[in-house]
Structure 1
Amino acid sequence: MFDTSIEERDDFLLVKLKGDLDVYSKEDFVEFNDKSLKNTDNNLVIDLENLDYIDSTGLGMFINIYKDQEEKEKYVKIINPKENIKKLFKITDLTNLFDMEE
């Protein structure tokens, strides 16, 4: 199961991801990204507290979000990652792209 929610804050959008972000949830996440994130001019804070699993497909989607935000000169910050997700971001060197909460 995969779910998303979004909250507008003063100077950013808080994006909450829940469940598993993988090849099976790709279509749902792409639709969410296209409708809610791609056209925003806000910075993004992505809360991964309730994200249990991510695979290479999910990592690719994060890279797409990063590229979209970079083109708009906006940032992406990742907060509350679980250890397994934080480890995956580290071994793939994605911590260099994202401001990731330790």
Structure 2
Amino acid sequence: MFTFRSIPLNEDEVIIWFHGDLDIEITEIMDEEILPSLKPFHNIDINLSEVPFVDSTGIGLLINLIDSLKKDKVQVNIKISAIQPQVKDIFDIIQLSDILGEELFCS
């Protein structure tokens, strides 16, 4: 089961934790809950410490989320942090850092 929790640090900055698998099951949650909740912020930390699995749909949803946030703002700072090793391996295989930009990924 997928859940998320976000904590605004101030009016401009938020950390969002994803818990569970990033797969087709979260499509509706991503579009209807997560994206709108992040739109007010300019500094966004997407924490994947509790994401054990990502499939191709989940990667597509993550790319779409980041593209949508960047499209709506002139200035937005997004980072993806605390990536579990098995998820990082998948990101490396598909060269996600080349697609989204190396600067988004934190160790």
Q: Which TM class, normalised by the smaller chain length? A: 0.7 to 0.9
Answer yes or no: is 1:31 the counterpart of 2:32.
yes
Helix, strand or coil at the partner of 1:54: coil
Select the structure that is richer in strand.
1
- For residue 25 of structure 1, report the CA deviation from its aligned partner: 2.3
Answer yes or no: is 1:4 the counterpart of 2:9.
no
Q: In 2, Cα distance between the equivalents of 1:17 and 1:32?
A: 12
Aligned residues: 101
Partner of 1:16: 17
Within a 5 Å distance, the mapping from 1:79-94 to structure 2 comes to 79-94=81-96
Q: 1:34 to 1:79 in 2, by over 3 A?
A: closer
Select the structure that is richer in helix.
2
In structure 2, the gaps of 5 or more residues are none
Return the TM-score normalized by structure 1: 0.85
Helix, strand or coil at the partner of 1:28: helix
Return the TM-score normalized by structure 2: 0.82
Identity among equivalent pairs (%): 29
Q: In 1, Cα distance between the equivalents of 2:34 and 2:4?
A: 10
In structure 1, the gaps of 5 or more residues are none
